[in-house]
């Protein structure tokens, strides 16, 4: 398994999202209930941004605002980096590392079809490495 598409087939394509006018408080409630660190912000089927714990922690208080009176669109990251289903794990890891992000929405024909996290990518890279090591061990011991 080396592409985002292969990962989404096993992980699933469930996406948690809110609308831009959702309050920060309501978004935090969803994030807590689902035990996730970010929500996609979608309006009329279009990806408008992403709202993460980092956005909340770094922007809300610094702007002198409260979570019940502030909408997600005031704090969300608007320039969202996305990948396509055919994107490799190595490319995802490179993007996440250089851009210092932990969530990559997966889009196809301008429609969100999934979300890949840093944890997903790291887990899959480790599984791939373990499989390669096992295959090499079998080859060396003649058990192929």
Asked if 45 contacts 63 with a C-beta cutoff of 8 angstroms, the reply is: no
Question: Dihedral sign, CA of 30, 35, 37, 43?
Answer: negative
Q: How confident is the model at residue 107 (pLDDT cuts 50, 70, 90)?
A: very high
pLDDT digits (tens, 9 = 90+) for 71-106: 999 999 999 999 999 999 889 999 999 999 999 999
Query: Which range, of 23-32, 76-85, 101-110, 131-140, averages the lowest pLDDT?
Result: 131-140
Going along the chain from its start, the domains and CATH numbers come out as 4-141 (3.10.580.10)
Tell whether pTM > 0.85.
no
Strands (E) across the chain are located at 17-18, 38-43, 46-52, 103-108, 111-117
Closest listed residue to residue 50, CA positions, set 16, 25, 83, 2: 16
């Amino acid at each position: 398994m080396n592409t985002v598409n292969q990962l989404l087939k096993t992980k699933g394509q469930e996406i948690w999202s809110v609308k831009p006018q959702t309050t920060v408080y309501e978004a935090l409630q969803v994030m807590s209930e689902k035990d996730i660190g970010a929500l996609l912000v979608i309006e009329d089927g279009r990806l408008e941004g992403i709202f993460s714990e980092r956005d909340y922690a770094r922007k809300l208080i610094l702007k002198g605002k409260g979570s019940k009176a502030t909408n997600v669109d005031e704090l969300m990251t608007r320039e969202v980096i996305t990948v396509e289903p055919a994107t490799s794990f190595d490319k995802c890891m490179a993007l996440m590392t250089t851009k210092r992000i932990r969530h990559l929405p997966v889009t196809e024909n301008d429609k969100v079809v999934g979300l890949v996290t840093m944890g997903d990518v790291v887990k899959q890279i480790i599984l791939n490495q373990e499989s390669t090591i096992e295959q090499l061990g079998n080859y060396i011991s003649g058990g192929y």
